[in-house]
Amino acid sequence: MNILIFSLILLVSAYMAGLLGSLTGLGGGVILIPLLTLIFHVDIRYAIGAALLASIANSSGAATSYIKEGITNIRLGMFLEIATTTGAVTGALIAVFMPVNAIAILLGVVLIFSAAMTIRKKHEHLEQTGSKLSYLLKLNSSYPTATGEVNYKLKNVGGGFSIMLLAGVLSGLLGIGSGALKVLAMDGAMRIPFKVSTTTSNFMIGVTAAASAVVYLQRGYIEPGIAFPVVLGVLGGAFTGARLLTMMNPQTLRIIFSVAITFVAIEMIYNGFNHQF
Amino acid sequence: MKQIKKLLVDRDIELFIGQVLRTGVITACSIALVGGILYLAQQGAASVPDYAAFKGEGAEYTSFGGIFRGVASGSATEIIQLGVLVMLATPLLRIFFSGIAFAMERDKLYVMITTLVLGIILFSMFGGLKV
């Protein structure tokens, strides 16, 4: 295969990854790494470098629309970024000492977890009383709905912060946005309404990914021949996905895709144990 | 001055940050696209390098100096890497502008938090963690 054909196939595949990632809410990176390693037989380190870039592109590209709708809680995002960036730098440091196979297996486990998270039931819970820390850090806020502004308050700020630290480590180690863990921290621990937690999570992913990407760039994980088709493709796919989302409800797609990604994850884990990376 | 300040502390600064991010992403993609087209025009017919074996990139792709020297000499791959650098800079810009917004609101706590986050990333960049 020559470079031209390889780049074009990669561009189209990355577009599909971006489209599916955006429709299912899993993010492009989660699909990109198995795609690059299992199908294109690219070393997982190059795949991680490319996926980090794609995460940043998605997060920065989508920020405008979320901010416009006034859903993102910027203070909360900034506060939790202390945890995710610290985690991401730590993750990038640990990555050097981790065998490549262990990274593949861990990624498989995180994929299954992310798939399970996308199909779980989402309930819009609104807390009327916040924890002490939530007032101190001015994290309680409101967001617009069809029936007007809705106020919400936060609980268990410390617990959420700790999960975010872990999300950061995984993001730095695996090159994914780990949006599923971020939502778990905000949605599950801190009791933030689902809409706010997903958009704030997306808002944070770019900064988190940048914290480890600068290390990976210096380590030579970012290969221009892979980076350019991947970034352009994923971003294009994500924009198409965002458009489609306003017209359709992808619940069925989510379920089918979660099952598919689980099989991919099992393959990653299987290959990891058989030292295929 | 008062009016400008009011304008900025409003949600306008958030929208402005969003615009900065979008412009950054579009710029990064355009640079990568130009580099990519050049790369395909020059090397498209060559066979694909063995990406299954990780070698790690050399200084021409991994350092400011290397990338800028390559761009100056018109090398396609370094132009792509310049796009990568611009992409990496967009979240940093966001933190920077958020910090300014908090400063205008005189929110000392969040100015500190923002500075801390920026500090962590700068440490990651220049802290020699690449080993």
How distant is the Cα of B2 from the closest Cα of chain A, in angstroms?
A: 24
Model pLDDT, residue A125:
67
Q: Measured between alpha carbons, how far is A25 from A197 in angstroms, rounded to an integer?
A: 12
How distant is the Cα of A91 from the closest Cα of chain B, in angstroms?
A: 11
Which residue of chain A is at minimal alpha-carbon distance from B46? A2
Residues of chain B with Cβ-Cβ distance to A213 below 8 Å are 88
pLDDT, one tens digit per residue, over A36-48 is 998 999 999 999 9
Tell whether B37 is covered by a domain.
Answer: yes
B72 touching chain A per CB within 8 A: no
Residue range of the domain that includes B37? 2-44+54-126
Per mean pLDDT, which range of A3-12, A48-57, A220-229, A267-276 is the poorest? Answer: A267-276
Model pLDDT, residue A74:
86
3-state secondary structure labels for all residues of chain A: CEHHHHHHHHHHHHHHHHHHHHHHCCCHHHHHHHHHHHHCCCCHHHHHHHHHHHHHHHHHHHHHHHHHHCCCCHHHHHHHHHHHHHHHHHHHHHHCCCCHHHHHHHHHHHHHHHHHHHHCCCCCCCCCCCCHHHHHCCCCEEEEECCEEEEECCCCHHHHHHHHHHHHHHHHHHCCCCHHHHHHHHHHHCCCCHHHHHHHHHHHHHHHHHHHHHHHHHHCCCCHHHHHHHHHHHHHHHHHHHHHHCCCCCHHHHHHHHHHHHHHHHHHHHHHHCCCC
Residues A58 and A238 sit within 8 Å (Cβ to Cβ): yes
Q: What is the mean pLDDT of residues B34-63?
A: 88
Collect all residues with Cβ–Cβ distance below 8 Å to A18 and sequence separation of at least 6. Answer: A28, A54, A58, A233, A234, A235, A236, A237, A238, A240, A241
In the structure, what pLDDT confidence band is assigned to residue A182 with cuts at 50, 70 and 90? Answer: confident
Q: Measured between alpha carbons, how far is A275 from A253 in angstroms, rounded to an integer?
A: 32
Tell whether B74 is covered by a domain.
Answer: yes
pLDDT, one tens digit per residue, over A8-37 is 999 999 999 888 887 777 777 778 888 999
Tell whether B49 is covered by a domain.
Answer: no
How distant is the Cα of A251 from the closest Cα of chain B, in angstroms?
A: 29
In chain A, the number of structural domains is: 1
Which A residues in the span 233-262 are in contact with B, Cβ-Cβ below 8 Å?
235
Which residue of chain B is at minimal alpha-carbon distance from A84? B117
Tell whether B14 is covered by a domain.
Answer: yes
Global ipTM: 0.86
Tell whether B22 is covered by a domain.
Answer: yes
Residues of chain B with Cβ-Cβ distance to A56 below 8 Å are 87-88, 90-91
Q: Measured between alpha carbons, how far is B68 from B76 in angstroms, rounded to an integer?
A: 12
Residues of chain A with Cβ-Cβ distance to B21 below 8 Å are 60-61, 63-64, 206
Model pLDDT, residue A148:
80
In the structure, what pLDDT confidence band is assigned to residue A242 with cuts at 50, 70 and 90? Answer: confident
Model pLDDT, residue A187:
80
In chain B, the number of structural domains is: 1
Tell me: pLDDT of B102 over 60: yes
In the structure, what pLDDT confidence band is assigned to residue B28 with cuts at 50, 70 and 90? Answer: very high
Residue range of the domain that includes A145? 3-273
B42 touching chain A per CB within 8 A: no
Model pLDDT, residue A238:
84
Q: What is the mean pLDDT of residues A155-162?
A: 91
Tell whether B131 is covered by a domain.
Answer: no
Model pLDDT, residue A203:
82
Cβ contacts below 8 Å, chain A against chain B, sum to 203
Tell whether B116 is covered by a domain.
Answer: yes
pLDDT, one tens digit per residue, over A87-138 is 999 999 998 888 989 999 999 998 898 888 877 766 666 777 888 888 888 8
Model pLDDT, residue B118:
95
